[in-house]
Amino acid sequence: MTVPIEVRRLPHGEGLTLPAYATAGAAGMDLLAAVTAPLVIPPGGRVLVPTGIAVALPPGYELQVRPRSGLALKHGIVLPNSPGTVDEDYRGELQVIVMNAGDAPFVVERGMRIAQAVLAPVVRGRWHEVETLPPTGRGAGGFGSTGVR
């Protein structure tokens, strides 16, 4: 299924391709860095990387911004709020919070595939307060209570 996404290219995004799927089976579209000059992220540093686009998502959808596994493995580049959520009513520029968890400076170049975006349907919940919750075998166990293996 293909869902149309309205996109507006911003001036600093001129010349860059729009987000696209790298393969026919890819779940995420690559987001490109719309930096005007190389951006150096020191080890432990974090920056806000512009993408040069703004979107209007269809009602009932969100855009999840996720890290790229190759950047994480090879360079320690992570998204500290992953997955980031772009709400359907947000109209500002898509920007990506990028952190260098590696041990060497990392340079973000113009047009670099810096993150990926997954379009996902949103199911809205409604809280219903109760006195007790139904029991389960796990109960309140969490934070490793089911073991390591």
Asked whether residue 147 is assigned to any structural domain, the reply reads no
**Residue 39 CA: distances (Å) to CA of 28, 54, 104, 139:** 24, 21, 14, 48
What is the biggest distance separating any 2 CA atoms in the chain, rounded to whole angstroms? 58
In tens, the pLDDT along 105-138 reads 999 999 999 999 999 999 999 999 999 999 998 8
* Enclosing domain of residue 116: 9-121
Question: Is position 145 within any domain?
Answer: no
Per-residue confidence (pLDDT) for residue 145, from 0 to 100:
74
Is residue 127 included in any domain, yes or no?
no
Q: Which of 90-94, 115-119, 132-136, 143-147 has the lowest mean pLDDT?
A: 143-147
Find the angle CA(24)-CA(29)-CA(34) to the nearest 5 degrees: 140
What is the domain-level CATH number for residue 96?
Answer: 2.70.40.10
- Alpha-carbon distances of 92 from 51, 57, 100, rounded to whole Å: 11, 12, 25
DSSP string, 50-67: EEEEEEEPPTTEEEEEE-
**Which residues face 60 on adjacent strands?**
none
Whole-angstrom Cα distance, residue 100 to residue 34?
Answer: 18
Half-sphere exposure (Cβ direction) of 148: Cα atoms closer than 13 Å: 0
Calculate mean pLDDT across residues 78-107.
97
In a domain, 106, yes or no: yes
How many distinct structural domains can be found in the chain?
1
Is residue 65 within 8 Å of residue 115, measured between CB atoms? Answer: yes
Asked if residue 149 is part of any domain, the answer here is no
Q: What is the DSSP letter of 73?
A: H
Q: Establish if 52 belongs to a structural domain.
A: yes
For residue 139, tell me if it sits in a domain.
Answer: no
Kindly state whether residue 107 falls inside one of the protein's structural domains. Answer: yes
* pLDDT class of 37 with cuts at 50, 70, 90: very high
